[in-house]
């Protein structure tokens, strides 16, 4: 069976924009967020409190949150890697954060200047401090299926790293196919491996990049396994600057088209969302990679 309702975790403002070379004005980011909320999305990953040297596009995180009109019923999670980031998120009045770990050694080095083991030392005080402050903490795990430097990644390695994020107090774990190489059988296999370790689909989310055109098929496989939180990016924007060959996320429009067709509730108005992504594509100066945006934007 399929879930009756899916929560879409919209990552366009964060994952979507973090890889953009030219800095998007904060006013445009704010309008993007407001239009996404107006289209019915209820979780908007707004920005990251990371080092501005590492991700210059999101150096305006304070300004962004300062200018943000928070809509009732909408959550605005932010990425936080370390205690410095947590202090910034607290100052900005955030209530939801996400820590982001790597399932592989090489990406822990490339993305966090850390190691597979040491990244958890960095996250431990972040998660503890956030929970003490009453924040919700999501955990991300990257390179869950394949790594551009290390090749295929084994299920046990992923489950072990995921368990460590739950031990830190994460309420949900998002399984990242950072470079978009997974296929549907692997998705079922990994979810089964989590299940065997006592971690069911209600505590998991999926985060697919669409590099090989598999994101939607992989999402359907995950939904059939009982996952009901799906990460996606309006217009299919995105990519990680520290992961070779990562393209955009699953496009939210492609996801909503699928879920509408299946009769699975999302609360999202597809026309408003498409208009928003078409508008954003104009701001960025190139067409959206989303098939559904191109089919409907006219
Ligand atoms: P580092 O260079 O080892 O750390 O980076 P450092 O402590 O030496 O700091 C370097 C400089 O940054 C210092 O400034 C710090 O003060 C400053 P300086 O003294 O040279 O002037 N700094 C900060 N400034 C503001 N806020 C902070 C902060 N921390 C340090 N929080 C670090 C280590 C973890 C900071 C760095 O590696 C980093 O920021 N990494 C983040 C990279 C990133 O954001 N990647 C994209 C997100 S993950 C992703 O996209 C995957 C995901 O979508 C899931 C998937 O697809 O798989 C989630
Ligand atoms: Mg990502």
> Is residue 280 over pLDDT 90?
yes
Cα-based torsion angle of the residue sequence 123, 230, 222, 155 in order, rounded to the nearest 10 degrees: -20
* Cβ atoms of 206 and 187 closer than 8 Å: yes
* Whether the Cβ atoms of residue 126 and residue 161 lie closer than 8 Å to each other: no
Residue written as token pair 């995950």: 222
Instruction: Provide the strand spans (E) within the chain.
Output: 7-10, 43-44, 47-48, 78-79, 96-102, 136-142, 146-147, 151-152, 172-177, 204-208, 229-232
| Interface predicted TM-score (ipTM) | 0.98
Ligand 1 atom, smallest distance to 177 CA: 57
Place of tokens 């209530």: 95
Q: What is the pLDDT of residues 91-130, one digit of tens each?
A: 999 999 999 999 999 999 999 999 999 999 999 999 999 9
User: What percent of the chain has pLDDT above 70?
Assistant: 100
Which residues, chain by chain, have CB under 5 Å from ion ligand 2? Answer: 15
97 close to ligand 1 (CB < 6 Angstrom)? no
Query: How many C-beta atoms surround the C-beta of residue 113 within 10 A?
Result: 14
* pTM, entire model: 0.98
- Residue nearest to ligand 1 atom 1, measured at CA: 113
pLDDT one-digit tens code per residue, 204-230:
999 999 999 999 999 999 999 999 999
Nearest ligand, CA 243 = 1
Q: Whose CA is nearest to atom 14 of ligand 1?
A: 51
pLDDT band at 57 (very low <50, low <70, confident <90, very high): very high
Q: Ligand 1 pocket test: which of 18, 50, 63 has the largest number of ligand atoms within 8 Å of its C-beta?
A: 50
Evaluated on CA atoms 247, 174, 196, 124, the torsion sign reads positive
18 lines ligand 1 (CB under 6 A): yes
Residue 255 contacts residue 274 (beta carbons within 8 Å): no
């Amino acid at each position: 069976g399929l879930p009756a309702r899916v929560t879409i975790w919209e990552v366009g403002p964060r994952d979507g924009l973090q890889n953009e070379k030219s800095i998007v004005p904060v006013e445009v980011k704010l309008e993007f967020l407001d239009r996404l909320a107006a289209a019915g999305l209820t979780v908007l990953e707004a920005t990251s409190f990371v080092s501005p040297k590492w991700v210059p596009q999101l150096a305006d995180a304070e300004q962004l949150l300062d200018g943000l009109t928070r809509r009732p019923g909408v959550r605005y999670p932010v990425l936080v890697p370390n205690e410095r980031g947590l202090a910034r998120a607290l100052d900005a009045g955030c209530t939801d954060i996400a820590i982001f770990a790597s399932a592989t050694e090489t990406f822990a080095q490339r993305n966090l200047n850390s190691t597979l083991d040491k990244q958890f030392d960095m996250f431990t005080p972040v998660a503890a401090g956030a929970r003490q402050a009453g924040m919700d903490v999501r955990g991300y795990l990257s390179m869950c299926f394949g790594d551009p430097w290390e090749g295929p990644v084994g299920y046990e390695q992923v489950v072990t790293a995921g368990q460590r994020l739950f031990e830190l107090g994460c309420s949900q774990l998002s399984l990242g196919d950072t470079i978009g190489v997974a296929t549907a059988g692997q998705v079922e296999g990994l979810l089964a491996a989590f299940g065997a370790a006592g971690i069911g689909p209600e505590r998991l989310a999926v985060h697919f990049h669409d590099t090989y055109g598999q994101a939607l098929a992989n999402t359907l496989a995950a939904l059939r396994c009982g996952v009901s939180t799906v990460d996606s990016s309006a217009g299919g924007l995105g990519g990680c600057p520290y992961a070779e060959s990562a393209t955009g996320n699953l496009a939210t429009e492609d996801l909503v088209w699928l879920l509408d067709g299946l009769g699975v509730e999302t609360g999202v108005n597809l026309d408003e969302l498409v208009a928003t992504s078409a508008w954003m594509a104009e701001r960025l100066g190139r067409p959206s990679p989303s098939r559904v945006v191109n089919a409907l934007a006219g």
